[in-house]
Structure 1
């Protein structure tokens, strides 16, 4: 767990607090570049994004 307030994440991502809040509430459809900025900010704070693999059903 990281201790980061919404305002801190928004600032680190270079977006407004209102934009971040709207994304979290699901009331806006963010651009890919906005999501990438949020991801970079979270990664800088120590969050690691991983991909899950897939497999075929037997």
Structure 2
């Protein structure tokens, strides 16, 4: 059974770190407010599914692969250049 693709706050912070984006950079690229990113990353609130999808899409477009929960645990890494 496949694992759910749930973005974790620590994953979001790590992904931004890999590509040297601020919270504002991610917010701009995802089309959400900076406070949405900040509140999510500091675990003040969870994301709506549609907002989570926007963040995932922006992170992946920025060149980071999100590794969702599996036996090794969640993580992030650079995507292989095409």
Going from structure 1 to structure 2, the CA distance change for 1:48 and 1:28 (only over 3 Å counts) comes to same
Unaligned runs of 5+ in 1: none
Q: Say which one has the larger Rg.
A: 1
- Show the counterpart of 1:20: 37
The correspondence for 1:34, drawn from 51, 60, 65, is: 51
Question: Counterparts of 1:29 and 1:38 in 2: how far apart (Å)?
Answer: 13
Query: Greater share of strand residues, 1 or 2?
Result: 2
Task: Give the CA RMSD over aligned residues.
Answer: 1.5
Secondary structure at 1:49 match in 2: strand
Residue by residue over 1:28-55, the C-alpha shift from the partner in whole angstroms, topping out at 9 and shown as x without a partner, is 121011111000000010001235655x
Q: How many residues align?
A: 54
Question: Counterparts of 1:25 and 1:51 in 2: how far apart (Å)?
Answer: 19
- Show the counterpart of 1:11: 28
Unaligned runs of 5+ in 2: 1-17, 72-82
Displacement over 2 Å in runs of 4+: 49-54
**TM-score, normalised to structure 2's length?**
0.59
